[in-house]
Amino acid sequence: MKPALKILLVLLTLLFPALLLGLGERPVYKIQEIRIAETAREMLASGDWVVPRYNGDLRLQKPPLPYWLTAASYRAAGVNELATRLSAALFGLLSALLMWNWVRRESGLKIAANSVLVLVASYIGLRYFRSGEADAVLLFFISAACMLGYDLLRGRHAGRQLLFGLVLGLGFLSKGPAALAIPLLALLAIAVIEKRAGRLQPRASNFFSLPGVALLLLVAFGWYLWILWQLPEIAQAFVTKQVDETFVSGTHAKPLWWYLAHGFEFFAPWGVLLVPAGWMAYRQRHVAMPSLLRFAWVWLGVVFLLLTATVNKQMQYALLFAPPLAIILGHYLAQAEGGFARVNRLLFWIFAVAASVGIIFALRRSSDLPQALLWLALPAAPQVLRGVLREVTISAPVLLVAGVTAMAYLYSEANLSKEPHKLAAQTLMAEAARHEPLYQVRTPLNDGALSFYAGRVVPPITAAETARLLQTQPEIWLVGEATPAVPETAAQTTLVMEVDGLKLYRVQRKP
């Protein structure tokens, strides 16, 4: 068996359970996840795959590709939590395989294996590759565009301009402008650097052909043009609001240094290596840097500048740092020598001690020994297979850190993050869905989880709309966290059920 195949089998022994184990056990409750889940459910139920709707209202703020992928999962596997997250997990796996193939070709097997482990087995990687949000899809297309652009820059595979345009367009259709800005600016920056250094003489024709540009424009903007043609006033209002929230006012405004302040925790446990990796790169600034590593540093700088410039700063945006960071740390882990290698060994033993304490805590807490052994098998299985295959290229300590990280994340997801309120919509709607007519109390966010678990749209209504409905309906059912603001002289409100603050009310019109 070839060494590359052996290493890939070892990696997949970790990646498959890390991305898929227990994927459907958590309820859908995160707002970003439920927006895609419910919009896709309504898309499938209505048969209208062109105009997205959320709780019955138009939802044009985001491109439709994640809704289409999730709706396709529902059609194949049913409307459930597993299908909600399946596309993210599959695109996470595709991103890992893409990185494996690219880095292996450019930098060798060991660096490729390290890069894949850093990409997936980090807190932020596991968080978003196991959630039904759009970020994993976006990340794959950005990575694919950067890989294709890198090849085209170096004069390889000149016929791939069409595929380059397609990937850029699909990225834009995943989550908007970042899919164009990051690859194109990173490639422009590295092209300028390479030209000034006399290493390459790049031209625009390296990247773009007329059919490739046409395909990019069609895929990226075709849906938007159709929406503008069919719903011009509504579409313009949504686009204006989105631009304002992202670049002007910001609904999640954070200071400029926010990503720097949270980098270590987002990319734990690997984040601690960013300092020595950066210092090693500075120490070796006069040494010829490998081409792919040079591109990764430029790519990282572009992402940092773009994300810092935006007003909105959220954890999921930081996932865009992951591919270049994985390549940088993959090189660092393979090439560290002298003092840097000693630092790595010290950090590994600190991690090993902390992990041992955590494992002892988990075993003492667990009342199910077979389940505990299953968690321990997650980091152990790749090590066993590595020994059986006698594959020494992949680093045992790096593989162990990745396996323990995946084990810790999945264990905490299954046992330490089950706050009762996360189950509220799932539990209460099993009862509420039997009643008609059913509405939810309108809030600024409106809870799509209520519609998702009801299996039908639960429209949001205001107090005034409730009063008007009671003029024609003898009773209505309302779900919300607060008591409906209906005058006692007009209606009688009865609390029927409550689950962790979420309440089901029966509102009856008084004679």
Say whether pLDDT at 192 is over 70: yes
Residue 130, pLDDT above cutoff 80: yes
Q: How confident is the model at residue 234 (pLDDT cuts 50, 70, 90)?
A: low
Quick one: pLDDT at residue 464?
A: 84
Query: pTM value?
Result: 0.94
Q: How confident is the model at residue 106 (pLDDT cuts 50, 70, 90)?
A: very high
Considering only 251-260, 368-377, 379-388, 490-499, which range has the smallest mean pLDDT? Answer: 368-377
Confidence of residue 159 (pLDDT cuts 50, 70, 90): confident
**What is the SS3 assignment for 102-159?**
HHHHHHCHHHHHHHHHHHHCCHHHHHHHCCCCCHHHHHHHHHHHHHHHHHHHCCCCHH
Percent of the chain with pLDDT over 70: 94
- Pick the closest to residue 38 from 61, 57, 24, 22 (CA basis): 57
Rg of the chain over CA atoms, in angstroms? 25
Where does the pLDDT of residue 263 fall: very low under 50, low under 70, confident under 90, or very high at 90 and above?
confident
- Reported residue count of the chain is 511
**Residue 224 CB neighbour total at 10 angstroms:** 16
Q: Where are the chain's structural domains? A: 422-509
Residue 236 has pLDDT above 90, yes or no: no
Task: Give the per-residue pLDDT at 110.
Answer: 96
- Tokens 């599959």, located at residue: 90
Please tell me the least confidently modeled range out of 245-259, 356-370, 386-400, 409-423.
245-259
Average pLDDT over residues 194-206: 84
* Summary mean pLDDT of the chain: 89
* Per-residue pLDDT tens digits for 178-187: 999 999 999 9
- pLDDT band at residue 418 using 50, 70 and 90 as cut-offs: low
pLDDT surpassing 70 at residue 333: yes
- 270-325 per-position pLDDT tens digit: 999 999 999 998 888 778 889 999 999 999 999 999 999 888 888 999 999 999 99
